Amino acid sequence: MGFFRTTFNLFGNKTRSVLKVNISRGFGTFAALKQNPMAGTEFYGAEERKEINDVLETGIFFRFNHDAQRNNIWKAKEFEAEVAKLTGAKYAHAVSSGSTAVSCALAAAGVGAGDEVIVPPFTYIASVEAVIFAGALPVFAEIDETLCLSAEGIKKAITPKTKAVLLVHMCGQMAQMDEIMQVINDHKLILVEDAGQAMAASYKGISTGLFGATGCYSFDFFKIATAGEGGVMVTNNENAYKLADNYSDHGHDHIGNNRGMENHLVLGFNYRISELHAAIGLVQTRRVPMIREKNNQIKKHLMKELGGIAGVSFATLPDPNGDSATFLNMFLPNTSAAQKVVDEFNKNGVGGFNYWFTNMYHFINQWDHIKEGRVAAKTNVQLLGAPQDYANMNLPKTQETIGRLISFSIKATWSEQELAELIAKMSTSIRAALAQTA
């Protein structure tokens, strides 16, 4: 396992001292962490400070205009260029969060009021919220062992009113894109991709987020790269890019250097990213290839060690070469066995995992506010009527899949000893739990 020996010599001395602090926290408080931050929070230091100081020295935190004062410092533009370079997107537009990136992606793809949009029941709730606040109507469909919507699930959910599919690439993975694109094309649907948890993942050489009309990534605190708060919408369609640029800033056309005299091409809202957040995102994006490589090395080792336990399997990876490896997604034989494993993990001080079946934000079972229509102000779901009975959904494949899933966040900074200790605790816990359910 010599690949760990170079993990801690990646940056200058100032950054390395910061990394040591984080590494000591990484396993020392591991038992207390239920949502283990991803690599974006593991690697930070002198490079981020330098980019932030560039902005501070100009005093221009706003991403547009003020050309004379900013001394040619354009961090949002550099951030966008770096994301485009990493993913292969023709166009990238940075906004204030992954959630607003989904909103921009939907709007730029022409998805709006009254449209039925097929969505997964396993996703961060923001994906569904974005559909509702676009004025559209969510239609929940089944997932499969990729943890993403399945082609079969999408087909069964299509109605004459279906306009689009919001495909969420969950837990660092990717969906079965060949089969899904066949359904999209056969039914002439719009595909929008939420790859908030899967930036740096790809399928047959194409980045997640670039199969549909528009896609997006999240750069919040828990992703492979962070801007603190931020998101990026990507597309290969110039018109969609221009619409997102307008829509995310009150419709401004961003032509000229007098903001007060710009034309407003469409109705929009304020989803702008600041130069300070973009400065952090810029540095973090540059590190993603290194993080992805280390994540994959660690994940493969975990799978090798844990895969020998009878009853343990792993989520389907349609393209193992395209894995971002931000999560180890592990299946147990059934829901009862998974719950026993969770109990053993907690008893033995194993943390850093999510049991999504009971997670309040990521799984439909806990979304009582959606089931009961609890809103601050009326939406089109209340006005037009929900296309499904949200309180009584029949999604047996999804329930079975998520019931037996446990996901661990991969930490690129784990030392060889820390990883060995984790594997030992996990193995002991899993074997004990499965013995109880045998």
User: Would you kindly state where each structural domain of the chain is located, as residue ranges?
Assistant: 2-36+289-359+400-437, 48-284
Determine the average pLDDT of the residues in 23-33: 30
Q: Does residue 248 surpass a pLDDT of 50?
A: yes
| Ranges assigned E (strand) in 7-161 | 91-95, 116-119, 137-140
Q: Which CATH number fits domain 48-284: 3.40.640.10, 3.90.550.10, 3.30.390.50, 3.60.20.30?
A: 3.40.640.10
pLDDT tens digit string along 298-308?
999 999 999 99
pLDDT (0 to 100) of residue 36: 54
Determine the average pLDDT of the residues in 234-257: 97
Judged on CB neighbours under 10 Å (0-12, 13-18, 19+), 161 is exposed
If we measure between CA atoms, which residue out of 239, 250, 238, 192 comes closest to residue 84?
Answer: 238
Please report which confidence band the pLDDT of residue 11 belongs to, taking 50, 70 and 90 as the band edges: very low
Lowest model confidence (mean pLDDT) among 35-44, 163-172, 354-363: 35-44
Determine the average pLDDT of the residues in 328-349: 98
User: What percent of the chain stands above pLDDT 90?
Assistant: 89
Q: Which CATH number fits domain 2-36+289-359+400-437: 3.90.1310.10, 3.90.1150.10, 2.40.40.20, 3.30.70.1560?
A: 3.90.1150.10
Determine the average pLDDT of the residues in 389-412: 97
Q: Does residue 6 surpass a pLDDT of 80?
A: no
- Facing residues of 191 across strands? 165
Determine the average pLDDT of the residues in 187-194: 98
- Phi and psi, residue 363, nearest 5°: -135, 140
pLDDT (0 to 100) of residue 345: 98
Determine the average pLDDT of the residues in 35-55: 83
pLDDT (0 to 100) of residue 438: 72
Is the sign of the CA dihedral 146, 356, 98, 370 positive or negative?
positive
Please report which confidence band the pLDDT of residue 37 belongs to, taking 50, 70 and 90 as the band edges: low
If we measure between CA atoms, which residue out of 285, 220, 297, 261 comes closest to residue 80?
Answer: 285
Please report which confidence band the pLDDT of residue 38 belongs to, taking 50, 70 and 90 as the band edges: low
If we measure between CA atoms, which residue out of 366, 370, 367 comes closest to residue 379?
Answer: 370
- Phi and psi, residue 270, nearest 5°: -95, 100
In this chain, the answer to whether the domains covering 2-36+289-359+400-437 and 48-284 adopt an identical fold is: no
**Full-model pTM:** 0.91
List, in sequence order, the alpha helices (H) in 59-147: 75-87, 98-108, 126-133
Please report which confidence band the pLDDT of residue 100 belongs to, taking 50, 70 and 90 as the band edges: very high
Q: Does residue 366 surpass a pLDDT of 60?
A: yes
Q: Does residue 53 surpass a pLDDT of 50?
A: yes
pLDDT (0 to 100) of residue 158: 98
Across all residues in the chain, what is the average pLDDT? 92
